[in-house]
């Protein structure tokens, strides 16, 4: 086996609504539902703002992934951000999550497969966690387009246990690739 470049560095879940999610030794992904025991688990939306708009809409946000490289950047900018701190379930390293196209399959560990649905749309809660943090993960490029850097969302296609150190294998969808949009 060659050098594994993309892997899981931490996993988190929370049974209660709170912004942060405690780091765990492992999490179990359930097909079509999300992270077992996580408040956002379910076929339909669980994020409070989305439930208020339409509680019957499909849950495209079953699993939240953030790249550890973002944590590195945020710490360098003076923000104490650790895995699970801004609500992610899976922290990765060695994978350009934000550059993946919609529909990418991520094979994680021995069995789990998640399908990338879109970008996390960061909100005011990030500033409630750490003042000024929202500006670090939500900005504009030189053309004035909004740039979201707070991770990606996915749905679980095949369940399985996920642990730190698990390899992540990327399976791109058929061309043409659609860039990630907020979900």
| Structural domain span for residue 55 | 7-171
Domain assignment present for residue 104? The answer is yes
**Cβ atoms 137, 64 nearer than 8 A:** no
- Pick from 48, 56, 37, 35: nearest CA to 153: 35
**Cβ atoms 87, 20 nearer than 8 A:** yes
Domain assignment present for residue 179? The answer is no
Domain assignment present for residue 182? The answer is no
Structure pTM?
A: 0.93
Tens of pLDDT, residues 101-155: 999 999 999 999 999 999 998 888 898 889 999 999 998 989 999 999 999 999 9
Alpha-carbon gap, residue 58 to 47, rounded angstroms = 11
Domain assignment present for residue 183? The answer is no
CATH code, domain carrying 62:
2.40.33.20
pLDDT of residue 1: 42
Number of domains in the chain: 1
Residue located via tokens 């659609």: 178
| Max CA separation in the chain (angstroms) | 48
- Pick from 154, 161, 171: nearest CA to 6: 171
Tens of pLDDT, residues 73-109: 999 999 999 999 999 999 999 999 999 999 999 999 9
**Residue range 8-35: average pLDDT?**
95
- Pick from 138, 41, 159: nearest CA to 89: 41
């Amino acid at each position: 086996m060659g050098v594994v470049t993309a892997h899981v560095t931490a996993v988190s879940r929370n049974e209660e609504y709170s912004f942060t999610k405690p780091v765990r030794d492992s999490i179990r992904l359930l097909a079509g539902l999300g992270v077992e025991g996580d408040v956002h688990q379910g076929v339909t939306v669980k994020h409070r703002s989305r439930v208020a708009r339409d509680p019957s809409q499909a849950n495209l946000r079953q699993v939240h992934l953030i790249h550890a490289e973002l944590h590195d950047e945020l710490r360098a900018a003076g923000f104490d951000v650790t895995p699970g701190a801004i609500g992610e379930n899976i922290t990765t390293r060695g994978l350009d999550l934000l550059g993946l196209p919609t529909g990418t399959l991520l094979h994680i560990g021995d069995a789990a497969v998640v399908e990338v649905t879109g970008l996390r749309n960061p909100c005011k809660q990030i500033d409630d966690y750490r003042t000024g943090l929202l500006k670090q993960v939500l900005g504009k490029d030189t053309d004035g387009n909004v740039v979201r850097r707070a991770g990606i969302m996915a749905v679980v296609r095949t369940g399985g246990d996920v642990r730190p150190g698990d390899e992540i294998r990327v399976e791109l969808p058929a061309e043409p690739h659609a860039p990630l949009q907020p979900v």
